[in-house]
């Protein structure tokens, strides 16, 4: 199983992340990574993220706005 993030503008349009992620082997690893670099992603143009396990949406979109995080 692979855990991945989808990076989006606030309207749901997919964007390329400012920091290239990897495929994570656990949900916790994916969440730790996003917790460490969300500001860089936000500054790079992503407004929100969605977490997937393989092709299954787990949750999101989750805002990268500082007031919402």
Task: Summarize pLDDT for 43-69 with one digit per residue, the tens.
Answer: 999 999 999 999 999 999 999 987 654
State the average pLDDT over residues 14-28.
93
In the block, tokens 């860089």 appear at: 40
Sheet holding 56-63, edge to edge: 3-8, 48-53, 56-63
pLDDT bracket for residue 38 (50, 70, 90): very high
Contact 18, 33 (CB under 8 A): no
pLDDT score of 34 more than 90:
yes
pLDDT bracket for residue 13 (50, 70, 90): very high
DSSP 12-53: S-B---SS----BSSHHHHHHHHHHHHHHHHHTT--EEEEEE
Residue 35 neighbours by CB under 8 Å, 6+ apart:
none
Q: pTM of the full predicted structure?
A: 0.90
């Amino acid at each position: 199983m692979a855990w991945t993030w989808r990076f989006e503008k606030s309207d749901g349009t997919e964007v390329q992340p400012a920091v290239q992620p990897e495929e994570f082997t656990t949900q916790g690893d994916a969440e730790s990574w996003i917790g460490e670099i969300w500001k860089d992603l936000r500054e790079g143009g992503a407004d929100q993220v969605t977490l997937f396990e393989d092709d299954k949406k787990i949750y999101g979109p989750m805002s990268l706005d500082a007031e919402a995080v």
